[in-house]
Amino acid sequence: MTDIEERLRHDLKKRGERAHPASIRPLRVPPASRRSRARYRLASARRSKAARVLAPATAMVAVIAIIAGVWMAGHPAGKQPGAAASSAGMPKYYVTLNTVLRGKSSAPPEMMAGVGPGRVTAIVRDSLTGAVLGSVLIERVARGEDLTDSATWITAAANDRVFAIGVLSRAYILRLQSDGQVAGVSPLPAAVSKQVPGNGPALLSPAGTELAFRDTTNSKVTVVTLATGASRRWRARPGFVVALQWQGTGNQVLVELGGRQGIQFRLLDVSGAGGSVLAHSRLVYSLSSTRNGYSVGDPMITPSGNLLFVARSVYTKLGGVQTTACRVVEFSSDARRLLRVLYKAHAPSKAVGYFPPCGVASVGPTGLNLLIEDFGLGRGYDRLDGGRITALPGWSAKDFDPQAAW
Amino acid sequence: MNTSAAGLSQPGEEVRHATVAVTDLFREHHLELVRLALVMVGDQETAEDVVQDAFERLYHGWNRLREPSSALSYARSSVINGCRSAMRRSAVARKHAPKLAGVSGTGAVGTGPADDHADLADALLLLPQRQREVLVLRYYADLDVAEVAATLRIAPSAVRSTCTRGLAALARVLGEDRG
């Protein structure tokens, strides 16, 4: 075999491997678009009336049958993770942060668009109906401390009653009554607040008693006890911390580690006094490498033990339009294989270098109901219940820097 | 797969058999076919669409298959044909892209995330369709000359000559790149 044949074989294999199993969508039902209907009309023009009526239906049945076959083959009866997921275990309330800019910015004129002083309000809504149950002013930000599009964050405890909120470099705790009414907001002690990075987010533990976050250099995982301000730290060398997620009752944090070795998802035991991430964690899953423009994040472990994360890929279509493809994928923890793609969306980049929000904003206490950013589709946030997507009712995606948690 | 094609008499059984067979084929070869389509068209989304259409056609045409064992070959041909159509459509889109999108047309053409350097897989996209198909089937899918000929429905001698011409064209591209 000549040099060029060897190189062609190598380059083609490399190109083919860009199609990673996690990045490939499953079969889908053919869209009932005008174009496809027109195609069917043309194709069936010479067929009988019955055939014309049945053609689109049989095409749909064909794909559904294959999807069902693949699904059944990969999911033995009695072990269908997420199949029973529904809105039944969904958190009763969700809280959004509404930022209203008011007044003159102290930033130079060329940087003024989208920044300025203003106020941040937390609004509590019923998850099913979207009805507003209560609202509370979190903070009025004065001139000189501009709110930008990354100035606020919110996370929730598993009990659906305690939320941690960040505004610039300050952090607050919001408590709700059992009926969703606001019980009160209190700033976190300075001993806690000063440790939390300004751009957050800090993740509230399931019991609402601790905050976990990565430091500004992404080199450490820190867990702070809210009552005392005491902290424990785990170093992530070699590598860096990409994302965190509390697991179970709050003794473990799922850590996504990036680095030369690829991406690792590790379960870190945070009950100890601190130390090294590698020494105090166990490997759940690893991806040996990711190609350019491909990233993963927002990992979590479902109640059935499967690993779920968001895979993003950026590609350039004809005409140079950059597009981001976002997928929420579920991997089996035992067989180490892709079980299914729960959600997939494509969103074009509005400007060079800008990519739409794409990720899981919050996970319900059962781990089955996800609050996902709409991936630039203009709907704000969506609910993802075991593979079923529903628009989150009751709030406007037009808000400046919207944030939500449940 | 235990079902025998010869024993099928009821329409329901035929449908069930097709579902099982296509499902098996999907599980075993879906990724491989998506990758084949990806190296042909250079864009994963299009590749996934092409493979989906191929499986849909395979399912519908299952009863017309002379040999169920040739299903993979049929699917591969179907994918190659789908890629051909997709490339034709993308050529038209590329022709009108500057006017429609208001860009200079210098954007990457049908490629995924860019690698650090251009490789032969990119150069392959510049070759004529037949040369591209032959080289991909020969050097990516690792088919022998007879299998490539059967997939593309051309003579083995045509496969050999197209392959030689394609490699020479790639060598020229490489030469220009280095020069």
CATH classification at residue B162: 1.10.10.10
Based on the domain organization, do B120 and B108 belong to the same domain? Answer: no
- Look at the alpha carbons of A104, A109, A113, A115 in this order and tell me if their dihedral is positive or negative: negative
Residue B2 — pLDDT band, cuts 50, 70, 90?
very low
How large a percentage of chain A has pLDDT more than 90?
14
| Final residue in a domain of this structure, among B78, B112, B146 | B112
- Contacts with A69 from chain B: Cβ below 8 Å: 19-20, 22-23, 26
Based on the domain organization, do B80 and B149 belong to the same domain? Answer: no
- Contacts with A355 from chain B: Cβ below 8 Å: none
pTM: 0.53
- Contacts with B120 from chain A: Cβ below 8 Å: 4, 7-8, 11-12
Which of A70, A72, A317 best tests the B interface by mutation, with the highest count of B CBs <10 A? A317
Based on the domain organization, do B54 and B138 belong to the same domain? Answer: no
Nearest residue to A168 (alpha-carbon basis) of A139, A131, A189: A139
Based on the domain organization, do B45 and B96 belong to the same domain? Answer: yes
| Final residue in a domain of this structure, among B112, B138, B163 | B112
> What DSSP letter does each residue of B46-75 carry, written as one string?
HHHHHHHHHHHHHHHTGGG-S-GGGHHHHH
Question: Are A5 and B93 inside 8 Å of each other by CB?
Answer: no
| Final residue in a domain of this structure, among B112, B140, B161 | B112
Q: Residue A123 corresponds to which amino acid?
A: I
Based on the domain organization, do B74 and B102 belong to the same domain? Answer: yes
Cβ contacts of B161 within 8 Å, gap of 6 or more: none
Based on the domain organization, do B174 and B139 belong to the same domain? Answer: yes
How many structural domains compose chain B?
A: 2
Which of the residue ranges A176-190, A334-348, B123-137 would you say has the lowest mean pLDDT? Answer: A334-348
Q: Residue A179 corresponds to which amino acid?
A: D
Based on the domain organization, do B96 and B133 belong to the same domain? Answer: no
Q: What is the structure's pLDDT at B141?
A: 86
Based on the domain organization, do B93 and B146 belong to the same domain? Answer: no
* H or E, element range at A378: none
Considering CB atoms only, which of B38, B93, B116 is closest to A16?
B38
| Largest distance between two CA atoms of chain A | 79
Helix axis angle, B145-152 to B71-101, nearest 10°? 60
Give the range of the structural domain holding residue B65, as residue numbers without chain letter. 1-112
Q: What is the structure's pLDDT at A366?
A: 72
Based on the domain organization, do B152 and B91 belong to the same domain? Answer: no
Considering CB atoms only, which of B23, B107, B135 is closest to A316?
B107
Residue B129 — pLDDT band, cuts 50, 70, 90?
confident
Question: Are A69 and B108 inside 8 Å of each other by CB?
Answer: no
Based on the domain organization, do B78 and B17 belong to the same domain? Answer: yes
- Domain locations in chain A as residue ranges: 3-74
Based on the domain organization, do B16 and B86 belong to the same domain? Answer: yes
Task: Give the ipTM.
Answer: 0.75
Question: Are B121 and A58 inside 8 Å of each other by CB?
Answer: no
Based on the domain organization, do B123 and B147 belong to the same domain? Answer: yes
Q: Does the structure show a pLDDT above 90 at A233? A: yes
Residue A262 — pLDDT band, cuts 50, 70, 90?
confident
